[in-house]
Amino acid sequence: MTDPISRRTLFEMTVAGASAAAMASSATAQSAQRPAASSQSWTTYPEGEKVGYAIVGLGKLALEEIIPAFKHARGSKLAAVVSGDPAKARRVAAENGLPASAVYSYADYERMANDPRIQVVYIVLPNSMHAEYTIRALKAGKHVLCEKPMATTIADGEAMIAAAKQANRKLMIAYRCHYEPLNLEVMRRVRAGSIGKPRMVVTNMGRQADPNTPWDSWRLDMGMSGGGALADMGVYGINAARYLLNEEPTEVTAWSYTDRSDPRFKTTEDLIAWQFRFPSGAIANGSTSFAYSATVSFQVIGETGRLVADPGAFYGGNRLTVEGQPGERNPQIVEIDQFAREMDWMSDVVRGKAPMVAPGEEGLQDLRLMKAIMDSAARGGAPIRTDWGYRRPVDPAAVVDVPRRA
Ligand code: NAD
In a domain, 322, yes or no: no
Q: How far is the CA of 265 from the centre of ligand 1 (A)?
A: 19
Q: Is 178 in the pocket of ligand 1 (CB under 6 A)?
A: no
For residues 313 and 76, what is the distance between their CA atoms, to the nearest angstrom? 23
The residues that bridge with 208 in the sheet, in sequence order, are 291
CATH number for position 33: 3.40.50.720
Burial class (CB in 10 A: 0-12, 13-18, 19+), 181: buried
Q: How far is CA 284 from CA 209, 240, 258, 270, 298, in A?
A: 25, 10, 22, 20, 10
Instruction: Give the pLDDT confidence score for residue 24 in this predicted structure.
Output: 27
CATH number for position 207: 3.30.360.10
Q: Is the pLDDT of residue 133 over 70?
A: yes
Residues 201 and 153 in one domain: no
Give me the catalytic one of 109, 122, 179, 236.
236
Mean pLDDT score across all residues of the chain? 90
Q: Is 203 helix (H, G, I), strand (E, B) or coil?
A: strand
- Kindly report each contact of residues 259-264 with a partner whose C-beta sits within 8 Å and lies 24 or more positions away, as own/partner: 259/291, 262/291, 263/211, 264/209, 264/211, 264/220, 264/290, 264/291
Average pLDDT over residues 171-197: 97
In a domain, 218, yes or no: yes
In a domain, 161, yes or no: yes
In a domain, 333, yes or no: no
Spatial CB neighbours of 144, under 8 Å, sequence gap ≥ 6: 120, 121, 122, 123, 134, 137, 138, 160, 164, 169, 170, 171, 172
Residue-level length of the chain: 406
Q: Is the pLDDT of residue 230 over 90?
A: yes
Q: What is the pTM of this model?
A: 0.91
Q: Considering only the C-alpha atoms of the chain, give the largest distance between any 2 of them, rounded to a whole number of Å.
A: 61
Average pLDDT over residues 342-363: 97
Instruction: Give the pLDDT confidence score for residue 402 in this predicted structure.
Output: 81
Q: Is 309 in the pocket of ligand 1 (CB under 6 A)?
A: no
Q: Is 81 in the pocket of ligand 1 (CB under 6 A)?
A: no
Q: How far is the CA of 398 from the centre of ligand 1 (A)?
A: 31
Q: How far is the CA of 304 from the centre of ligand 1 (A)?
A: 42
Residues 61 and 196 in one domain: no
pLDDT in tens, 60-87: 999 999 999 999 999 999 999 999 999 9
Residues 236 and 383 in one domain: yes
More confidently predicted of 30 and 50: 50
Residues 261 and 291 in one domain: yes
Instruction: Give the pLDDT confidence score for residue 23 in this predicted structure.
Output: 28
**Alpha carbon 306 to its chain's center:** 23
Find the Cα–Cα–Cα–Cα dihedral 217, 220, 223, 226, rounded to 10°.
130
Residues 137 and 243 in one domain: no
Burial track 52-76 (b if 16+ CB lie within 10 A, e otherwise): bbbbbbbbebbbebbbebbebbbbb
Average pLDDT over residues 100-122: 98
Q: Is 286 in the pocket of ligand 1 (CB under 6 A)?
A: no
Residues 365 and 224 in one domain: yes
Q: Give the model's confidence band at 20: pLDDT under 50 very low, under 70 low, under 90 confident, else very high.
A: very low
Instruction: Give the pLDDT confidence score for residue 404 in this predicted structure.
Output: 58
Spatial CB neighbours of 92, under 8 Å, sequence gap ≥ 6: 58, 63, 67, 81, 83
Residue whose Cα lies nearest atom 4 of ligand 1: it is 59
Q: Is 358 in the pocket of ligand 1 (CB under 6 A)?
A: no
Residues 235 and 379 in one domain: yes
Instruction: Give the pLDDT confidence score for residue 140 in this predicted structure.
Output: 98
Q: Is the pLDDT of residue 277 over 80?
A: yes
Burial class (CB in 10 A: 0-12, 13-18, 19+), 282: buried
Nearest by Cα to 172 from 351, 343, 369: 343
Domain that holds residue 243: 182-317+360-395
pLDDT in tens, 306-347: 999 999 999 999 999 999 988 899 999 999 999 999 999 999
For residues 89 and 83, what is the distance between their CA atoms, to the nearest angstrom? 6
Residues 47 and 130 in one domain: yes
**For this structure, is 175 an active site residue?**
no
Residues 34 and 155 in one domain: yes
Q: Give the model's confidence band at 258: pLDDT under 50 very low, under 70 low, under 90 confident, else very high.
A: very high
In a domain, 99, yes or no: yes
Alpha-carbon Rg for the chain in angstroms: 21
**For this structure, is 50 an active site residue?**
no
Average pLDDT over residues 214-241: 98
Cβ neighbours around 10 below 10 Å, total = 20
pLDDT in tens, 143-168: 999 999 999 999 999 999 999 999 99
Residue whose Cα lies nearest atom 9 of ligand 1: it is 59
